[in-house]
Amino acid sequence: MGIKDIKGTGIKDWRGQLDWMRRNANAGGLAATPYYLSLANMNLDGDPILAQLKMSGDGTALGSEKESSDPLGEDEQSPVPRLVHRYSDRALLLATNRCAVRCAFCLRGRIWRGGGDVSSWMVSESELDDIAKYLEKRRRIREVLISGGDPLVLETSDLRRIITRISRLPNIRVIRVGSRVPVVLPSRVDAELVDCLASFPGLWLATHFNHPRELTKEALGACRALVSRGVPVLNQTVLLKGVNDAPDTLERLFAELAAHRVKPHYLFHVDPARGCARFATGVERGLEIMKALRGRLSSVATPVFAIDLPGGGGKVPLLPDYSRGDGAFEALDGAVIPYPFHGSCFGS
């Protein structure tokens, strides 16, 4: 099926959408649900939807010597299969290697390309046993991020089984589920799934909108369904050259998300993963954008700009430098104003 035929598929069922994607993953060199592809403007050069999907070359070769198939060193920080333990207080559980979209800037392309340790498409019972034993022995771990792949492409019964097993550990207080499903397959967010997620205290959903064009009534409706049942929804955005690297674009995106009670959480510079160099804006451009958004967005709508260091070095939050020396700082209008309490506190 060619890309021009995608809008006519008319598939409403979320399972049918996923099945269509798997059967037509090579149509036009793209792999996404019919719903997400329907958002693209095929006549627009540099369309922000298509740009997120078009692989570099065959999607396997490194486009730069600075790229890596595992840029964050996740495989080296995996004490048991499907678990990454980098930070002392939290861990990452890779529940599946399947997604509802294959992003061209994917951090874990090594998994769905078949080059990683995750050989089966879903975490097994024995793997879950090993993960639970590891987490229970390390009481400093209190938060688990369930990601993949995309855990929301699993059947709700399977997702419930995984979350239940982890949530019953006495030291786990917070569970985050990372998913692009509200963006690329909103019909998956049905009543059964919402009931499941809402039944777990301490559960958050972290989704991934990158561009205002993705803010459809269906996608925002999926977020509303979760928030209205008490599931907090965060958003992480990846800064992508040629897609969203403009202050006006990101202002519209973040302001609209906040208006629908979706908190813009992170704005990440793209990772140096395989095929991602063409999306890199450079850190300085990200800082310029964050500076431009100052005064245009409140803290409710402003994410943290961050990079993830190679080799498992962790996230580094970054801010523009407003210091102008001698205890003075740049004001909203560009004026330089001294701050009276700069330096040591006053004596009694």
106 is catalytic: yes
Candidates 87, 224, 291, 324; catalytic one: 87
Residue 180: burial class (beta carbons within 10 Å; 0-12, 13-18, 19+)? buried
Q: Which residues pair with 146 in a beta bridge?
A: 93, 177
223 is catalytic: no
Long-range Cβ contacts of 189-192 (<8 Å, 24+ apart): 189/152, 189/222, 189/225, 189/226, 190/14, 192/156
315 is catalytic: yes
Sign of the Cα torsion 203, 85, 99, 246 reads positive
Residue type, 117: D
Candidates 82, 98, 108, 160; catalytic one: 108
Which structure tokens are listed for 198?
């809402």
Candidates 47, 98, 99, 213; catalytic one: 99
139 is catalytic: no
Closest CA to 159 of 168, 150, 171: 150
Give me the sheet containing 90-94, strands edge to edge: 83-87, 90-94, 143-147, 174-178, 203-207, 233-239, 262-269, 304-309, 314-318
Candidates 47, 70, 82, 86; catalytic one: 86
Candidates 35, 103, 180, 245; catalytic one: 103
90 is catalytic: yes
Do you find a cis peptide bond into 275, omega within 30 degrees of 0?
A: no
Candidates 106, 196, 223, 276; catalytic one: 106
108 is catalytic: yes
Candidates 7, 54, 90, 241; catalytic one: 90
252 is catalytic: no
Candidates 224, 261, 278, 315; catalytic one: 315
Candidates 70, 150, 245, 271; catalytic one: 271
99 is catalytic: yes
- Enumerate the active-site residues: 86-87, 90, 99, 103, 106, 108, 271, 308, 315
